[in-house]
């Protein structure tokens, strides 16, 4: 398990084992690839980030992951893999979030993208994400770094 602080100095615990913190987490985050590019969304307040959000009532975390990718980017899933989970301890609350990696087969145009401006494709993730104001705080800690390492080490990229 890795333990570090996030952009807001909250403690994050991260593990790539099977649901180490919560069997039934209420949050999901999906690292997406589409045709050799990274597929992100532009959150209207937070900026560029991989899609994700809250699990709804009567929905599994996996179902939420697929729905959030569609709602925030228009992306339709080719394959999706659970890769790990993290646990954030904030000042007032705490949350567990599943991390997925998804290969996207098509991007459908939607009329709205929930609280985002829709899909953004990047050839590369820049080296300066942590200081780049275009990017969301959820991209600015070691969750992204270690998740990308895991995805590469396990040859998940199609």
CA distance 15 to 11: 14
Residues 131-150 that bind ligand GTP (CB under 6 A): 138, 141
Kindly report the backbone phi and psi dihedral angles of residue 65, in degrees, each rounded to the nearest multiple of 5, phi listed first.
-60, -45
Select 29 or 113, whichever has its Cβ closest to ligand GTP. Answer: 29
Does residue 126 belong to the site contacting ligand GTP (CB under 6 A)? no
Does residue 95 belong to the site contacting ligand GTP (CB under 6 A)? yes
For 4, half-sphere exposure in the C-beta direction (CA atoms, 13 angstrom radius) is 14
CA distance 123 to 125: 7
Candidates 87-95, 103-111, 119-127, 148-156: pick the segment binding ligand GTP (CB under 6 A).
Answer: 87-95
Q: Which two tokens stand for residue 25?
A: 């987490």
Q: Which residues bind ligand GTP (CB under 6 A)?
A: 6, 8, 10, 12, 29, 88, 90, 93, 95, 97, 138, 141
């Amino acid at each position: 398990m890795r333990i570090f602080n996030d952009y807001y100095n909250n403690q994050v615990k991260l593990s790539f084992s099977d649901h180490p913190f919560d069997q039934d987490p209420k949050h999901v985050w999906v690292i997406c690839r589409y045709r050799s590019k990274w597929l992100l969304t532009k959150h209207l307040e937070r900026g560029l980030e991989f899609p994700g959000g809250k699990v709804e009532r009567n929905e599994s975390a996996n179902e939420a992951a697929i729905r959030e990718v569609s709602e925030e980017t228009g992306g339709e899933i080719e394959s999706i893999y659970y890769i790990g989970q993290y646990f954030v301890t904030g000042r007032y609350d705490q949350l567990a979030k599943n991390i997925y990696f998804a290969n996207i087969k098509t991007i459908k145009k939607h009329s709205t993208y929930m609280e985002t401006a829709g899909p953004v494709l990047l050839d590369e993730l820049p080296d300066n994400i942590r200081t780049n104001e275009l990017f969301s705080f959820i991209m600015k800690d070691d969750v992204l770094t270690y998740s990308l390492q895991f995805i590469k080490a396990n040859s998940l990229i199609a």
